[in-house]
Structure 1
């Protein structure tokens, strides 16, 4: 048993994704790198009368090609997405299905809502059709369905739980797994986030907040008018460097640091102090200085106030010259509880390929967002250290720091 509190280096040895770019981490990275928007006309199972007609939905997803028939009745789409992403991550890490498990393997999956599709379907059945809920409704809709299903699938018997902190859920899930491994409470972790909430009720609810764009998401740009709702999942495999080396695995990168804070300020509005302190904590956790950061994947929702606040927070940490920044939400949408995971996959890929992805749909700089937003075209550049930000309603902030292997 490792000594509690011992400083251990934590690495990521596998990653998987399901997103509006399709199934796989590679399609997600290619879309982000090449600036290809995966936002499409909204698909809805039932008539939809809302104003917003676009979303970043997973295209042509057939769960029967990825998941056993006997398991599917228990799985809401958010759990289906998490299974597919986790299977990919484990394969890349070089684990057989049950090989990764045991009492020293944790499973932590973040989600903003959980089984939203199941909730929506049963509400329609109850109130519109006066029908009877399916027997497996509750096992499908609970947020813990994703991590417990993964735990059973891989025989992981360590700490297993869902983490719900809105748009910071995936980043916090990965960060808390990192802290668990670093402290010696586990040796491996399956961590990430999943969301499948592009449904009528959810779209209308976000629309009521007036934060959704009817056309193009433009983070940090003049004339930005909101975000596009997305869905998907991203899962990474965390291990101690010692454990990865012992089994001959090749790490993708080091997960070097994690910071999380609360604004304790407002249910909807962001604050500068909370996000800036969060980034500082991630740097401190990693033993890094602000000048060490080469690239930052921003939360970047393209809502007017949030982009200004995040820009101010970055300048509070990095001074007058923050590192180059991009938001990839115009590509894969804002997938809420899954976003931090999808964006970490993009950030790790940027680190590995030495290419910073662009912020697409950019028109012209906003003087109130004084950052280098890598407008419209990817940038080949040295990247040894990168940050990924996730900031949520209620003021919950999370920042992950990744470093190239040395």
Structure 2
């Protein structure tokens, strides 16, 4: 896994951001919602929740795929692929790069996911149980391939000189996709990359977390003394990456620079986070980025709102940053846990925080757990001059990922 500083000769920057989320579609809506500390918690409606004692989630509402998916029939796509494809179109538009220019270049599409198209599998199972195999729709069955989260983007943008991949390292997968794309750009294997993560709310994952007693009855309150778990969410976050040379040559707006990343797999336990594995991943990312712990201004935490995650993550942060760490926030308090999209949406949150110079809050906060003992920027965003921001992503099986972002001001950052 990356442990040496990235080659400073080919710097990688973010020039386009695409968001589909429960708190807004498009980067402007998303950024405004983060600054305002909004959430859109409501009872889950995309599957039958009969029999569950509490059923709140963070669904994407008022989403009109036909606004963003124009070249292919969106009815061919599952819910998660619609999110990823729309977010990619939004990212490309936001970047100012023409579709024709992207098509002429070498492109990488890398999308992380936890569930792939499990929402479609839910429907197939329901049809089989209630209507018999003869009622199953072939069109629905064709939607279930997880690979479509990436390939549908290539089809929609009419790309042929392109490599596509769907990365399924669960809830850290968005950061994995960003790290994969960062390497492709800085080593010259691609000219542009569309990367991030996408997932849709599904019965399988909701039920799994419910049986683990990890679903909160009302809202997600990370780092709070009385936190009770996650809320499942959905959406997609796609970033357009290119080299600094490319971006400056075409006069592109630069949100932030990708400084480096770290990956680790401690394989400690199927579901329980491991303090040492998390700390090791942060150390690898800092080394790869050439950043010292004291230079980090903000940590976007995995911050699920479960007892185990928040305690383990904050302990690992103190192992790495000492007893006075930077501010630590959880965007899941607003977005819910969007699974494979989580660290990608958080990466976009980090990018706009750097550009617009504010720190998103951790909402629903009443009293910080003394065992966490961090400044989580409770309930209200604050203005801040951020230069380096760290984005954490952890997953079942000990699949850990961290990406560091820096403000681009024409100078080398963190070296």
Measured on the aligned residues, the alpha-carbon RMSD in Å equals 1.7
1:389 and 2:368 are equivalent in the alignment: no
Alignment-derived partner of residue 340 in structure 1 = 343
1:96 equivalent in alignment to 2:129: no
Aligned partners of 2:388, 2:268: CA distance in 1, in Å? Answer: 30
Aligned counterpart for 2:183 among listed residues 176, 179, 185: 179
CA distance in 2, matches of 1:80, 1:164: 18
Structure 2 residue 166 is matched with structure 1 residue 162: yes
Contact 2:105 2:192 survives alignment (8 Å): no
Describe the shift of the 1:6–1:353 C-alpha distance in structure 2 as closer, same or farther (beyond 3 A).
closer
> Contact 1:271–1:309 (CA<8 Å) still a contact in 2?
yes
Q: Is the 8 A contact 1:103 1:156 kept in 2?
A: no
> Counterparts of 1:307-346 in structure 2 under 5 Å?
307-346=310-349
TM-score by length of 2: 0.93
Counterparts of residues 146-157 of structure 1 (less than 5 Å): 146-154=149-157, 155-157=159-161
| Residue number in structure 2 paired with 1:86 | 88
Q: What SS does structure 2 have at the residue aligned with 1:351?
A: helix
1:160 CA displacement: 1.2
Q: 1:8 aligns with which of 2, 7, 10?
A: 10
1:292 is the counterpart of 2:295: yes
How far is 1:383 from its partner?
0.5
Distance 2:108 2:202 in 1: 31
CA distance in 2 between counterparts of 1:102 and 1:301 reads 41
Residues 217 and 330, structure 1, Cα contact 8 Å, conserved in 2 = yes
Q: Judging changes above 3 Å, is the alpha-carbon distance between structure 1 residues 60 and 127 closer, same or farther for their aligned structure 2 residues?
A: same
Deviation at 1:74, TM superposition (A): 1.9
Match status 1:208 vs 2:214: no
Q: Which residue of the partner structure matches residue 413 of structure 2?
A: none
Whole-Å Cα distance in 1 between the matches of residues 95 and 40 of structure 2? 27
In the TM superposition, residue 72 of structure 1 has moved relative to its aligned partner by: 1.6
Q: How many residues align?
A: 402
Give the whole-Å Cα distance in 1 for the aligned partners of 2:340 and 2:160. 22
**Residue equivalent to 2:3:** none
Inter-partner Cα distance in structure 1 for 2:82 and 2:366: 37
CA contact (8 A) 2:49 2:55 kept: no
Query: What is residue 194 of structure 2 aligned with on the other side?
Result: 190
Question: Unaligned stretches of 5+ in structure 2?
Answer: 1-6, 410-415
Structure 2 residue aligned with 1:355, among 339, 355, 358?
358
1:123 and 2:125 aligned: yes
Task: Report which stretch shifted further, 240-249 or 22-31.
Answer: 22-31
Q: 1:268 to 1:66 in 2, by over 3 A?
A: same
Quote the offset at 1:102 in angstroms. 4.3
* Deviation of the 1:245 alpha carbon: 1.6
Q: 2:236 aligns with which of 216, 233, 238?
A: 233
Change (3 A) 1:236 1:70: closer
Q: What's the offset of the Cα at 1:103?
A: 5.8
Counterpart secondary structure, 1:258: strand
Structure 1: unaligned runs, 5 residues or longer:
none
